[in-house]
Amino acid sequence: MAFLEIPGLPEKQVSLCAVSSRFPSITEALAGEGIEVLTVPPLSVLPAPVASHADLQLMPLGGNRVLAAEEAAEPSKQLRQKGYEVVINDLPLGDRYPQDISLNFLVVEKMVFGHQKAMSHTLKNIILENRWHFLHSRQGYARCSVCLVSSNSAITSDPTLYGLLTAAGLDVLKLPPGDILLPGYDTGFIGGCCGLIHPRRMAFTGSLEYYHSGMAVVRFLERYQVEPVFLRKGKLLDVGGIIPLATVD
């Protein structure tokens, strides 16, 4: 097992990822791809529809370091058993915005995107220690709003993040909002229904055939030689992301 040097961007086949515990069909499909799944249980402090979303409880920092919510005791325990250094966030989670987004920051190389008011002292210190550049986004759900395709390409429907990522030099596909399932809300986010499981394979929690911008996504992925993998039939489902944690040696 090898740790990911860059969060979200595996250099080889993924061998370990974090996913919500509420979707066994997704877990089984990932296991069928040869990937061990660290399932993230629901937390009562988060809003019920997103209580088990991995991208609200865990934030990989690169290498073997993961920033975790204090409330996420079980995932933190499992990560430590696998050799990760788990840093506990000093800002408690809550069931209202922005208390639910203190770990929903997007890391792209040495840039961090997210809402400044949701940033903890812990994360602020990590950004300073690593000499990362922070970019404030009005969209607080920064990580689940973005599908990171490579270090220089991404997909989003959020206009603020589209502007920030484009200004940072990334090639960004901007999608119209909507058409992603997230029971309890009007719609989900593109980053919440996918994740790289190989440098050239992007797993989706549904089929792009049923998504209003499916062909645009397929063409954009083809530009970067990335193949879509559909873990289930039907519409895309926001599960809080498929977070790659480690690859094969």
Distance CA 56, CA 79 (A): 16
Q: For residue range 102-158, list pLDDT tens digits in order.
A: 999 999 999 999 999 999 999 999 999 999 999 999 999 999 999 999 999 999 999
Q: For residue range 188-225, list pLDDT tens digits in order.
A: 999 999 999 999 999 999 999 999 999 999 999 999 99
153-156 β-sheet, strand order: 146-150, 153-156, 171-174
Q: For residue range 36-71, list pLDDT tens digits in order.
A: 999 999 999 999 999 999 999 999 999 999 999 999
- Asked if 184 contacts 171 with a C-beta cutoff of 8 angstroms, the reply is no
pTM of the model: 0.97
Look-up: residue for tokens 């062909």? 215
Q: For residue range 217-238, list pLDDT tens digits in order.
A: 999 999 999 999 999 999 999 9
- The one-letter amino acid code at 197 reads I
Across the chain, mean pLDDT equals 98
- Asked if 53 contacts 22 with a C-beta cutoff of 8 angstroms, the reply is no
- Here the tokens at position 127 are 């950004």
227-230 β-sheet, strand order: 194-198, 201-204, 227-230
Residues 6 or more apart whose CB falls under 8 angstroms from that of 15 comprise 1, 34, 35, 36, 246, 247, 248
The helix or strand, by DSSP H or E, that contains position 31, with its residue range, turns out to be helix 24-32
Look-up: residue for tokens 């629901």? 42
